[in-house]
Amino acid sequence: MDVFKQISKLSNLFFLSAEPISNVTLSAQRTDLVEFNDTAVFVCSVSTGTSLSYKWLARNSEISTGAGVLLSNGGANLSIAGLTRYDEGPYRCNVSNGLGYNVSSPIHLNVSYGPMKPTVMGPNVVKSGNTATFNCSAESVPLSLYQWYFNGSVVSNMSEYTTPSLTKDMSGYYICMALNTITGKNSTASIMLRVVDPIRNVQVEAQMNLAVEGHPYNLTCRVNETFDHIYWMRNGEKLNPDNRTTILMENMTMSFMSMQRNDTGNYTCLAANAVGNMASKPFMLLVNYGPDMPVIMGPRAVQTGDNATLRCHAKSVPPSLYQWHFNGSVVSNMSEYMTPPLTQDMSWKYTCMALNTITGKNSSASMMLAVVDPIQSVEIQAQMNSAMENYSYNLTCNVVGPADYIYWMKSGNLLLADNTTIFDMNNKTVMFLALNSSDSGQYQCVAVNALGNMTSADYTLHVIYGPKMPTISGPKAVKPGSSATLSCYAPSYPPSFYRWYFNDTLVSNMSKYMTPPVTEEKSLKYTCMAFNNITGKNSSASITITAIGKMMPVFNYFVYCFLFNVDNIYWMKNGEQIHQDNSTVFSMDNKTVNFMPVDRYDAGDYVCMAVNPVGNLTSSAYLLQVIFGPDEPIIHGPEFGEAGRNAVFNCSAASMPPSTYSWWFNDSLMANTSEFTAGPLSFNMSGTYTCVAHNHVTEKNSTTSKMLAVIEGIDSVMIQNNLTPISNENFTLTCRVVGPYDALYWMKDGMQLSLNASDPAPSLYITEDNILHFTQLTTQSNGAYQCVATNKAALHKSQQYKLLVHCKYHRKLSVFSFITFRKYGAVVSLNCTVDSYPECDFYWFLNNKSSLLKIGSVVSFSATRGQVGDYICVATNPVTNVTMTQTKSFAIESE
């Protein structure tokens, strides 16, 4: 406690001896100083105050000693040596004691420095005759004075210097010197200026000789002025060296090691230096080539006495001269040759030779022309004896006139050889080794030569056969006292005679026989015999008729209504009321419905309804299923099949329950399903395919057959062409078919191509054998083309050939802009469009074609004085090499 009292006394003593601080003043020895050269000296003083403590502040941060900073006089004096531009202050001193503190007013130093290294701005390259303006600036306090020097002489005392009109000898270094009069320092920088003459004349020079395909050729670019680069363009598109083209002598010479026809075009060389560029006028280089292999159009066969017109064309530049040769003699000097009236000895090879007088080359093509007499008549001659089943028989085709080949038709279908039918004497005779009843039918023979074909009149072949096993129709059960009507039929030609026997006694000579009334309940056997008086053969079948005491329906169904006071009972089938008829009888007050006999159409859902004055009640439905069939099957399948491919047959027969099926060929079981796939087919698989339908409940079978002829198939169909389709020029599509075919037609966009007068543009297409000629391509010709080859079994389509016609000439070239006058600084867009296929390449130029501005259909820029002028759009079709130009003027709207 005594200690604390003692401390309190001492503290009071201190405060009684200290004096408060007042009027703190800061002074500087100098305020205008030079960076790195001068030392700043500050003195801090007070009017009153004792026990003083000093703190120095620069920009509100306390200054510490070291690195050129020194405090003296108890901290009242501050000196800063090696002063920099960043030591400008402001500076203050803070004086404090135990009673408080006081801060001086700030002092700011002015530190002079620089100049730093100048920054020079201006062009490095200027066109001769123009001036150049250079600007020089250097960081400095106070601001620097400037001088410009060229070749050791002062040319300006300003920071900006504009040269006089420049000449090439005024190229060199231009030096700027910045000077600070306070610091006494200076600094320099330079800029290199190159004065260049503009290019005024550029020309493409060619060799004296003509350009020929396969030979070397040179083009040279002549430039009078100094240039930095030379560029070559063809049809407006830049050219680069490749394995055929080299560029030599600083790009001045373009050397073609081996000319190609597609090197034809407008060639331009563009010379450029630092102040601009200039393009030569286009030089049209025409590559002479050909002739290629000629294409001959004309008939392959002509009737004796007629003329034939043959046309020859070969690709060639310049166009070829033509000669036609026959039997070693020149018969025409024109591309088109019409023969005199033709005789048999004028059948031979006709040769067209195309000659190019520039290339010195020729090319030939030949075609065979057949002079043929027409076929005058065709008829079928048969043997004198009758056509008997299992015996051989011949039909002969007699033709008056020359025939290249003969084929036979039966009932409108092609007749093919098999194991019982062969052809002899170049198909003139068809030989049936063992006739079958199925060989009966209408026969035709067709004779063909190069001029056409002729078909004989129908010859009806009746094969005498039979009788086969008779089929008897009639009831197998009768009531006592009733008669049975029996019908007998046996396949036979001529039709059979019939006899009915009972107990070996002849009872009738007709195919239909009505028995006498059956009086006893027993079984009676009746036999039908069929007799063919030509073949001398007979065949028999029997039927047994049973007499039963009481005739019962096939099915009886009874519904008993255990209801009292029932007035009526009604029967319904599938929701409709049943009425009594000659096969449907009601009994027991309508409680029972009797079907006599039951029929397949009686199947359905049956209900009975009982009615009295109070109401009605209906039974649950009863499903009646009638067993029947099978009926005669129906076969769906082809009559012809291609060797190596499959043939699919489907068999169906009405039956309840559904039938099972089996397929037979040449007495061999082929399948146990309703659908049968035969194949891959071979020629020995031609013949009769039989479907047998079997009902396992009725235990009945039913059969039907279908004839299949296997023919040689078409392996492939394709469209060929190696040319570029160009509008207004001829064009050809060739259909290549591998395998024999009967007919060929063309399709466009999925529709069969019409080639008759009803076509909206009939002159656009001409067909010749397997060739589709376009006499003049237009955009109407565009589309997806297919050729279709057909035979009797199938049709075969080629892959689609997409034809897109390239426009030879652009229809219209237009440059669009919303307005041609714009305010200064506005954004301007120009759009170049043209109707062309394929799409054009676009190039933009300003005022002339010497300087390429932009590649593309649209050019955009800001409206400034430098953008005023004529904007030129050049459109080039990359395939046809056709070029068009359109110009649009642009100006800035006046204020």
Measured between alpha carbons, how far is 72 from 29 in angstroms, rounded to an integer?
Answer: 15
Percentage of the chain exceeding pLDDT 90: 43
For 535-578, how does the pLDDT look when each residue is reduced to its tens digit (9 = 90+)? 889 999 999 888 765 433 333 434 344 444 567 888 888 988 88
pLDDT of residue 267: 95
Please indicate, yes or no, if residue 14 is contained in any of the structural domains. no
- Domain's final residue, options 524, 547, 570: 547
Please indicate, yes or no, if residue 629 is contained in any of the structural domains. no
Is 30 in the same domain as 99?
yes
pLDDT band at 822 (very low <50, low <70, confident <90, very high): low
Is 108 in the same domain as 40?
yes
321 or 831: which leads in pLDDT: 321
Is 568 in the same domain as 599?
yes
pLDDT of residue 757: 44
pLDDT of residue 243: 87
275: left (phi over 0), alpha (psi -120 to 50) or beta: alpha
Does residue 371 contact residue 305 with C-beta atoms inside 8 Å?
A: no
Is 406 in the same domain as 453?
yes
Is 799 in the same domain as 724?
yes
pLDDT of residue 12: 47
pLDDT of residue 661: 93
- Asked if residue 245 has pLDDT above 80, the reply is yes
Measured between alpha carbons, how far is 230 from 228 in angstroms, rounded to an integer?
Answer: 7
pTM assigned to the model? 0.43
Distances (CA, A) of 189 to 92, 124, 126, 160, 726: 41, 14, 20, 14, 64
Q: Which residues pair with 369 in a beta bridge?
A: 348
| Tokens linked to 794 | 């199938």
| Tokens linked to 722 | 């190696």
Is 616 in the same domain as 639?
no
Indicate if the alpha-carbon torsion angle 247, 251, 255, 260 is positive or negative.
Answer: positive
Is residue 855 within a helix (H) or strand (E), and if so which, with residue range?
Answer: strand 852-855
Closest-CA residue to 265 (of 890, 879, 892): 879
pLDDT of residue 674: 92
306 or 697: which leads in pLDDT: 306
- Asked if residue 624 has pLDDT above 90, the reply is no
CATH number at residue 146: 2.60.40.10
Q: Which residues pair with 410 in a beta bridge?
A: 413, 443
- Asked if residue 1 has pLDDT above 70, the reply is no
Q: Give the number of other CB atoms < 10 A from CB of residue 104.
A: 21
Please indicate, yes or no, if residue 280 is contained in any of the structural domains. yes
Please indicate, yes or no, if residue 673 is contained in any of the structural domains. yes
Residue 108 sits in which domain range?
19-112
768 or 545: which leads in pLDDT: 545
778-791 b/e (C-beta count within 10 Å ≥ 16 → b): eeebebebbbbbeb
For 67-105, how does the pLDDT look when each residue is reduced to its tens digit (9 = 90+)? 888 988 888 899 999 888 888 889 999 999 888 888 899
Please indicate, yes or no, if residue 242 is contained in any of the structural domains. yes
pLDDT of residue 265: 93
pLDDT of residue 585: 85
pLDDT of residue 347: 87
Percentage of the chain exceeding pLDDT 70: 91
Half-sphere exposure of 203 (CA within 13 A, CB side): 5
- Cα–Cα–Cα angle for 300, 301, 304, nearest 5°? 150
Is 314 in the same domain as 268?
no
- Asked if residue 416 has pLDDT above 60, the reply is yes
Does residue 213 contact residue 859 with C-beta atoms inside 8 Å?
A: no
Is 27 in the same domain as 107?
yes
| Tokens linked to 886 | 């359109």
Does residue 515 contact residue 521 with C-beta atoms inside 8 Å?
A: no
Residue labelled with tokens 């531009």: 85
Please indicate, yes or no, if residue 4 is contained in any of the structural domains. no
pLDDT band at 465 (very low <50, low <70, confident <90, very high): very high
Lowest mean pLDDT among 11-15, 380-384, 733-737, 744-748: 11-15
Is 265 in the same domain as 322?
no
Assess whether the previous peptide bond of 90 is cis (omega < 30° from 0): yes
pLDDT band at 318 (very low <50, low <70, confident <90, very high): very high
- Domain's final residue, options 668, 688, 711: 711
Q: Is 850 exposed, middle or buried (0-12, 13-18, 19+ CB in 10 A)?
A: middle
- Asked if residue 863 has pLDDT above 70, the reply is yes
Is residue 2 within a helix (H) or strand (E), and if so which, with residue range?
Answer: helix 2-17
Please indicate, yes or no, if residue 653 is contained in any of the structural domains. yes
* Mean pLDDT for the chain overall: 86
- Domain's final residue, options 339, 354, 372: 372
Does residue 713 contact residue 793 with C-beta atoms inside 8 Å?
A: yes
Lowest mean pLDDT among 128-132, 402-406, 657-661, 861-865: 861-865
pLDDT of residue 240: 87
Please indicate, yes or no, if residue 11 is contained in any of the structural domains. no
825 or 186: which leads in pLDDT: 186
Write the single-letter amino acid at 829. Answer: S
pLDDT of residue 565: 55
Residue labelled with tokens 């004055």: 613
Structural domain total, the chain: 10
- Asked if residue 636 has pLDDT above 90, the reply is yes
Q: What are phi and psi of 506, to 5 degrees?
A: -65, 125
Is 65 in the same domain as 34?
yes
- Asked if residue 312 has pLDDT above 80, the reply is yes
For 354-367, how does the pLDDT look when each residue is reduced to its tens digit (9 = 90+)? 999 999 999 999 99
pLDDT of residue 100: 86
For 468-482, how does the pLDDT look when each residue is reduced to its tens digit (9 = 90+)? 999 999 888 887 778
Is 414 in the same domain as 446?
yes
4 or 680: which leads in pLDDT: 680
Assess whether the previous peptide bond of 299 is cis (omega < 30° from 0): no
The highest-confidence range among 156-160, 582-586, 833-837, by mean pLDDT, is 156-160
Q: Which residues pair with 707 in a beta bridge?
A: 688
pLDDT band at 819 (very low <50, low <70, confident <90, very high): very low
Is 47 in the same domain as 106?
yes
